[in-house]
């Protein structure tokens, strides 16, 4: 089980800008869920809902675990003994679950990540963990795509990075316009992938995508 984050207690001093960012206690979070249940029109004390606030808070610890993770620390362990390998590295079909920052509705999708090594490579599980770190936050897909690519670019300093994300946004499939079956595709290319269209096409082919 993912450990719960340590709650930050508020002081009795006058509220400052720093105080506004302090994490509420678990009890305050559970009470907020009870308020939402009452606002929806139900009774948080009834049998079927009495434990719901606790469950919701536990699930939020998992949904938003990315706030407590550092993608640059994840990418620090690299390898230089690659026997001269200088072709692109691609990890495709990385599944993820995120939540949109506008409605807190699920974003379900997959990411394709590639980079062209310069001197170092990183374990492929680390690429998946970087995707997970940014997904486990309140997000918009465009920002998440850029964050993943820029983190890899800064940490590895490769010749180029390519990231493509495909996902379904429940804020438009289960509410609002109710357009089920639609998906959103975003991309971020840096370095050689931005400059060389043939390299981009090779990445798309290796990721199983149509050029």
Tokens for 88, please give them: 């692109």
Please indicate whether residue 99 is annotated as part of the active site: no
- In the set 28, 62, 102, 142, the catalytic residue is 102
- In the set 69, 97, 168, 171, the catalytic residue is 171
Please indicate whether residue 169 is annotated as part of the active site: yes
- Spatial CB neighbours of 108, under 8 Å, sequence gap ≥ 6: 96, 97, 167, 168, 170
Distances (CA, A) of 130 to 88, 105, 114: 18, 21, 13
Please indicate whether residue 83 is annotated as part of the active site: no
Please indicate whether residue 102 is annotated as part of the active site: yes
Please indicate whether residue 81 is annotated as part of the active site: no
- In the set 69, 97, 103, 166, the catalytic residue is 103
- In the set 99, 100, 139, 170, the catalytic residue is 100
- DSSP-derived pairing of the beta strands 106-116 and 89-100: antiparallel
- In the set 99, 112, 169, 170, the catalytic residue is 169
- In the set 31, 101, 119, 142, the catalytic residue is 101
> How many separate helices (H) and strands (E) can be counted in the chain?
9, 7
Distances (CA, A) of 83 to 27, 79, 80, 120, 156: 55, 11, 9, 11, 17
- In the set 139, 141, 147, 204, the catalytic residue is 141
Distance CA 43, CA 30 (A): 14
Please indicate whether residue 198 is annotated as part of the active site: no
Please indicate whether residue 100 is annotated as part of the active site: yes
Distance CA 155, CA 40 (A): 45
Active-site residues, by number, are 100-103, 141, 169, 171
């Amino acid at each position: 089980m993912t450990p719960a984050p340590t709650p930050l207690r508020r002081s009795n001093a006058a509220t400052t800008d720093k105080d506004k960012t302090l994490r509420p206690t678990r009890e305050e979070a559970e009470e907020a869920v009870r308020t939402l249940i009452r606002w929806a029109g139900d009774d948080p004390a009834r049998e079927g809902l009495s434990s719901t606030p606790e469950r919701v808070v536990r699930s939020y610890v998992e949904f938003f675990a990315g706030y407590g993770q550092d993608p640059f620390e994840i990418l620090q362990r690299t390898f230089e003994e690659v026997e001269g390998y200088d072709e692109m590295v691609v990890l495709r079909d990385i599944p993820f679950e995120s939540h949109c920052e506008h409605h807190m509705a699920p974003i379900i999708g997959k990411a394709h990540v590639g980079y062209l090594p310069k001197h170092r490579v990183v374990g492929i599980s680390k690429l998946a963990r970087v995707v997970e770190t940014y997904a486990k936050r309140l997000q918009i897909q465009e920002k998440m795509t850029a964050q993943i690519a820029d983190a890899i670019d800064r940490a590895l300093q490769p010749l180029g990075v390519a990231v493509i994300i495909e996902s379904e946004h429940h804020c438009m499939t289960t509410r609002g316009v109710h357009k089920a079956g639609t998906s959103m595709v975003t991309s971020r290319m840096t370095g050689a992938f931005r400059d060389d269209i043939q390299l981009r096409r090779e990445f798309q082919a290796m990721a199983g995508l149509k050029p």
